[in-house]
Amino acid sequence: MTDNNSHNSLSFILKFEDGLDAKYKQWAQEAVEDFAALFPEFKNNFKITKQSPRFSEEIINLLRKKNEEILRIYNAEHPDNPIPFDGEKFCQMFEPAADGKYEISLEKQLSHATDQQGYVDMQKLLRSQRAEVGFCESPQMYPFVQIAVFSGCGQGNVRGISGRHHIAVAAGTCDLVTKGMSKDECKRYFKEIIMHELGHSFDATHKERTDCVDNLGWHDTDPSCLMYEYAYTREAFARRKNKKNPFCNHCMESMRQNMRETWRLQDRPLQVLDDEKELPQKPVDLQQRREWRTFARQLAAKMQADYEEDTKSSIFCATIKQKDGTCTKISAVDDNISLSAKDREGHKIVPEQQVFKALVEKARKNGQTINFGNIKTPEFKARLLIACMEATPPMNPTNAPELNNEFYDSLGADSMSARRLKLLQRKTTAQNSSQTISEAQTATPKTAQRTPKNLTVRRERGR
Ligand SMILES: [Zn+2]
Ligand SMILES: [Zn+2]
């Protein structure tokens, strides 16, 4: 399953202007920590650091050429709105670091982007940040997001701006607009600016979503979500007051998908199978055996059934025996589980819905996604999918069947599971869209493979 393009780390680089008020440094760190904590499935992938990237002379020259080339093409296509680039000046931005390499200080970038009145042109600042990666949005090449915080004010009251790899936040503007707020509120306001901009770096909102609008970059139409188009107004800020997670479920799922597919972060999905022969041929890890035991025992208790475990087996293997003679077998190796069941006559049946529900709950608790393994029975797939869709918030599994007529026919179009899925599908579609609901629409969001644009300066404005 490993592919060469996958990497296991994503660094959040905090870059502070010299002399920035210590509270902002503290809050920025907390904002990134809070953001990372929303994605427990990637917690081993995230690193938070204050170490900015350093470049060799050779790389600086390469970047200069790359920038000149990209901007030459861009400017030819946009004669009305060209982006100026001075190669000499660009190279002068780099200063020698202790290890013989070079780095760009935020102070230098700011000095180029500050106007005569002392306001920072945030777009210019973002451009200068982006020049560090040759305007290239490539999570594979550059597995980092840099968050720069400066003391001054943004032109036109801009609070934050973001590209895929770079974010800049104006603490000075934040200071002004939070006048009169309590310290806790100021802190939340500032942290939410960083989290909103991080939301853009991970494409929380995008044009494939029907509930988003393009208003100075793609934003959510849900007024209680942090990705709302007017997220920085006092009204919107007040609306989010007691929310544990400032992002809505749709934004969360978009970001998860983006982290997996664009940033190529590997989470540990929980693979579900309907045949234990498909399990990896290796003994189960001790810690995992304990986890599976807890899961299966609790499930047996919930079903008021007897629990039996084959402790001699090298993999985890337990049977839940219900009073009516139904036996549900759970076999597991690390992050792979196989479920099967038999009725009192020994006929093979699909395990009960509550088994799947418990499994999705377990995955959610661990911050794992459900992956549909090689499952043969449509009814099994349907029940697993029902459990995912009924979870709060709903889980977006991988390799799930597409909800089309063919799948419904394989289930029996009038079966209980088909009817339940159709209902759920309608509910999801209604939430996702205010457009006419059609029976044929699929509920499982299609994998949106968006090619990162080479030169999109995403504009951000706080209002
Ligand atoms: Zn949202
Ligand atoms: Zn925004």
pLDDT in tens, 436-463: 333 233 333 333 333 334 344 444 544 4
Q: How far is the CA of 4 from the centre of ligand 2 (A)?
A: 33
More confident residue, 8 or 113: 113
pLDDT band at 73 (very low <50, low <70, confident <90, very high): very high
Both tokens of 56, joined, read 């060799």
Q: Say yes or no: 275 and 248 in one domain.
A: no
Q: How far is the CA of 160 from the centre of ligand 2 (A)?
A: 8
Q: How far is the CA of 301 from the centre of ligand 1 (A)?
A: 38
pLDDT confidence of residue 189: 96
Please tell me the distance between residue 255's alpha carbon and the centre of ligand 1 in angstroms. 10
Tell me, in angstroms, the distance from the centre of ligand 2 to residue 129's CA.
Answer: 18
150 and 21 within one domain:
yes
Task: Copy the structure tokens of residue 22.
Answer: 């210590």
151 pLDDT band (50/70/90 cuts)? very high
Give 414-435 pLDDT, tens digit per residue.
899 999 999 999 988 776 553 3
**257 alpha carbon to ligand 1 midpoint, in Å?**
14
Q: What's the CA-to-centroid distance between 451 and ligand 2, angstroms?
A: 20
* Ligand found nearest the CA of 393: 1
* Crossing angle between the packed helical segments 286-302 and 353-365, to the nearest 10 degrees: 140
C-alpha 103 to ligand 2 mean position (Å): 28
Instruction: Name, in order, each residue with C-beta under 8 angstroms of 376's C-beta and a sequence gap of 6 or more.
Output: 274, 275
**Are residues 284 and 249 both part of a single domain?**
no
Residue 14 counted as domain residue: yes
Same domain, 128 and 78: yes
Helices (H), 167-219: 171-177, 183-201
Q: What pLDDT digit, counting tens, does each position of 252-294 carry?
A: 989 999 998 899 888 778 999 999 999 998 999 888 899 999 9
In terms of domains, do 219 and 274 share one?
no
Asked whether the predicted pLDDT for residue 8 surpasses 80, the reply is: no
Closest ligand to Cα 249: 1
Work out the percent of the chain whose per-residue pLDDT is above 70: 91
Mark whether 290 and 224 lie in a shared domain.
Answer: no
Ligand number, closest to the Cα atom of 458: 2
Q: How far does residue 222's CA lie from ligand 1's centre (Å)?
A: 6
Q: What is the DSSP string of 275-298?
A: -GGGS-SSPPPHHHHHHHHHHHHH
Which range has the worst mean pLDDT, 46-55, 221-230, 342-351? 46-55
């600016």: which residue's tokens? 193
* DSSP symbol at 402: P
Residue 447 lies in a domain: no
Return phi, psi of residue 12, to 5°.
-100, 115
Is residue 438 within 8 Å of residue 217, measured between CB atoms?
Answer: no
Do the domain assignments include residue 198? yes
Q: What percent of the chain has pLDDT over 90?
A: 73
Question: Which of 222, 237, 261 is the C-terminal boundary of a domain?
Answer: 261
What is the rounded distance in angstroms from the CA atom of residue 420 to the CA atom of residue 383?
A: 10
Mean pLDDT is lowest, of 150-154, 166-170, 194-198, 228-232, for 228-232
Does residue 301 contact residue 317 with C-beta atoms inside 8 Å?
no
Q: Give the per-residue pLDDT at 463.
A: 44
Residue 35's pLDDT band, with cuts at 50, 70 and 90, is very high
Distance 72 CA to ligand 1 centre (A): 36
Relative to beta strand 218-220, strand 270-273 is unpaired
Same-domain pairing of 175 and 290: no
93-107, 306-320, 425-439 — which is least confidently predicted?
425-439
Q: Are residues 144 and 282 in the same domain?
A: no
Cα 405 to ligand 2 centroid, rounded to whole Å: 38
Which helix (H) or strand (E) covers residue 160, if one does?
strand 160-162
The rounded Å distance from CA 362 to ligand 1 centre is 25
**Beta bridge mates, 220:** 212, 228
Calculate how far, in angstroms, residue 101's C-alpha sits from the geometric centre of ligand 2: 34
Residues 201 and 251 in one domain: yes
- Comparing 267 with 235, the larger pLDDT belongs to 235
User: In angstroms, what is the span from residue 34 Cα to ligand 2's centroid?
Assistant: 18
> Does residue 442 form part of some domain?
no
Is residue 431 assigned to a domain? Answer: no
Residue range of the domain that includes 82: 10-261
Q: Give the ligand whose atoms come closest to the C-alpha of residue 255.
A: 1
Q: What's the CA-to-centroid distance between 302 and ligand 1, angstroms? A: 35
CA distance 318 to 306: 10
- Inside any domain, residue 452: no
Evaluate if residue 218 carries a pLDDT over 50.
yes
Is residue 320 a part of any domain in this protein?
A: yes
Tokens (6 digits) for 379: 């009814």
Mean pLDDT of all residues belonging to the chain: 89
Ligand nearest to the CA of 200: 2
pLDDT over 80 (residue 24)? yes
What torsion do the CA atoms of 226, 37, 182, 189 make, to the nearest 10 degrees?
-30
CA of 224 to the centre of ligand 2 (A): 14
Q: How many CB atoms lie within 10 A of CB 19?
A: 8
**Partners of 168 in beta bridges:** 148, 161
Q: Are residues 103 and 243 in the same domain?
A: yes
Distance (angstroms) between ligand 2 centre and the Cα of 427 equals: 27
Domain end point (choices 351, 371, 397): 397
The answer on 275 and 173 residing in a single domain is no
For the four alpha carbons of 432, 437, 441 and 443, in that order, the dihedral sign comes to: positive
Which of 397, 416, 434 is at the close of a domain?
A: 397
CB-hemisphere CA count at 13 Å for 333?
A: 14
Residue 432: the pLDDT is 58
435, part of any domain: no
What CATH number is attached to the domain comprising 230?
Answer: 3.40.390.10
- Nearest ligand to the C-alpha of residue 205? 1
Ligand nearest to the CA of 225: 1
Verify that 244 and 277 share a domain, yes or no.
no
* Distance from residue 252's CA to the centre of ligand 1 (Å): 7
Tally of domains in the chain: 2
